Chains A and B, each alone.
Chain A
Amino acid sequence: MGNGAWRATTQQQAYANPKSMIDIFNYKTPRVYRIYRMWAFNNQYATYGGALGYLNIYRTVSANGGWTVAPIANDTSNFPLNVDLTCGTNRVVTLGSLFRRVGFSPDEPAAYVIDWDAMLTIVAYAEIWNAGYSDSVVDPLTCRANVIEGYTIYSTIMTTGVGDFEIEFTDKAT
Chain B
Amino acid sequence: MANTWRVNAEGVTLANGKDLLDVFNNSAARVYRVYRMFAINSIATAGIGVVGYVNVYRIITSVSDGTDLTTSIITHDTANSALSANFSAGTNRTVTLSSLFRRVPVSPDEALLLTVDWDSISTVVAWCEIWMAGYGSAGIIEPLTCRASTAEGYCIYSTISTNLGLDCEIEFTDSAS
Q: Are B42 and A139 in contact (CB under 8 A)?
A: no
B92-134 interface mask toward A, CB cutoff 8 Å, 1 = contact, 0 = none?
0000000000000000001111111000110111110000001
Provide the bound-state CA to CA distance between A128 and B111, in Å: 17
On chain A, the number of residues with a Cβ less than 8 Å from chain B's Cβ atoms is: 43
Give complex CA distance A102, B44 in Å: 10
CB pair A142–B79 under 8 Å, yes or no, is: yes
Chain B CB count within 10 A is highest, among A103, A119, A120, A124, for A103
Shortest distance between the CB of A158 and any CB in chain B (Å):
11
- Tally the A-B contacts, defined by beta carbons under 8 Å: 131
Residues in B with CB closer than 8 Å to A120 are 124
Question: Which chain B residues border A115 with CB–CB below 8 Å?
Answer: 113-116, 120
Least distance between B84 CB and chain A CB atoms (Å): 18
Determine chain A's interface SS by DSSP, over half rule.
Answer: mixed
Q: Which residues of A sit under 8 angstroms from B36, Cβ to Cβ?
A: 131
Min C-beta distance of B9 to chain A, whole Å: 10
Chain B's interface size range is 35 or more
Taking a contact as CB atoms under 8 Å apart, the answer to whether A53 and B44 are in contact is yes
Contacts A115-B115, A116-B116, A131-B4 given; does A103 touch B123 at CB 8 Å: yes
A136 touches B78 (CB 8 A): no
Quote the shortest CB–CB distance from B79 to chain A (angstroms): 5
12 example contacts (A-B, Cβ-Cβ < 8 A) are as follows: A54-B44, A98-B10, A100-B8, A100-B40, A103-B40, A103-B123, A105-B123, A113-B114, A115-B113, A125-B124, A137-B1, A141-B77
Binding site for B on A (CB under 8 A): 50-54, 59, 97-105, 107, 113-120, 124-125, 127-129, 131-132, 134-142, 144, 147, 149
Known: A101-B42, A144-B78, A147-B79. 19 other contacts (CB 8 A): A52-B112, A54-B42, A54-B44, A98-B10, A100-B167, A101-B40, A103-B40, A107-B113, A116-B116, A117-B113, A134-B135, A134-B136, A135-B136, A135-B137, A138-B2, A138-B135, A139-B2, A139-B4, A144-B77
